[in-house]
Structure 1
Amino acid sequence: MTKNPVLKAFRPLILLFIITTTLFLTSRAKLGQWNFDVDVLMVGNLVLFAATAVSFYLFSRSMGSSNPAAIVRTVYGGVFSKMMICLVTVFIYISIVQKDVNKGGILGCMFLYLVYTTIEVIILMKLSKQKKNV
């Protein structure tokens, strides 16, 4: 049985999701003191994880392409689609809560976006190099 290298490479992002979710749950009181709404962080983490999974799926579909430009377009498309998903989520959140927006939660989600995107791009670059060397 052969293992899919894309699924194996996705493990660090699964681990990041589990660690951040556990951290949010166990540090609810401390984060509340610092004006971070844990529910906003949890939903943001879930949305980011789902968006990252979608972009990884798009990348795995392009792995069979012999055109390197197609792979680069897919990576950029995944990052862009993740950004759009996050923007739509923020606008929905703002329209629901209106004046009770938790700025700390949104800033925390922006930091999570940077972490998820950085890790994703590093993993995708390694996968593309492995494909090129095979």
Structure 2
Amino acid sequence: MNDFEVVCRAQIDGDFEGFDDEVLFKLNNGTYWVQSQYKYWYYYAYCPEVLILRRHGVYYLQVVGQNEIVPVAQISDVIESRINGDFNGWEGETSYQLTNGQVWQQSAYKYTYKYSHMPSVVIFNPGSGYVMQVAGTSTKVRRIQ
């Protein structure tokens, strides 16, 4: 790891559950980073300290004290809101009104039942279309209002 430059040292804002596919990482310095290459690694920590590293123009995220790293890209177009009412999961073409007035609809088929009342929502575009994360689950979405 000697050929990596440390770009910043920060903490994950909340739960960290490792790497998967297009995972969004919100740091306590206000920046957002999205996993840009598929890699699965499960590791749970609450608000772990992380490093953003750079090598040959590519950015990586590493949890301090762990060996695993993953390529990431910084993004800025992130929407944070809440579902205006109950969330019952995904049913194929589910649409949800947010408390900020926006309405988003599921754009890829996925069926998952998960109930939560007025849960927090994060919507972001990792480069392959918008993704909505809510109540520990996510799917592709499109804005309809």
Tell me the TM-score normalized by structure 2. Answer: 0.26
Give the structure with the larger strand fraction.
2
Name the one with the larger helix percent: 1
**Structure possessing the higher radius of gyration over alpha carbons:** 1
Asked which structure has the greater RCO (Cα within 8 Å, sep 6+), the reply is 1
TM-score norm. by structure 1 comes to: 0.27
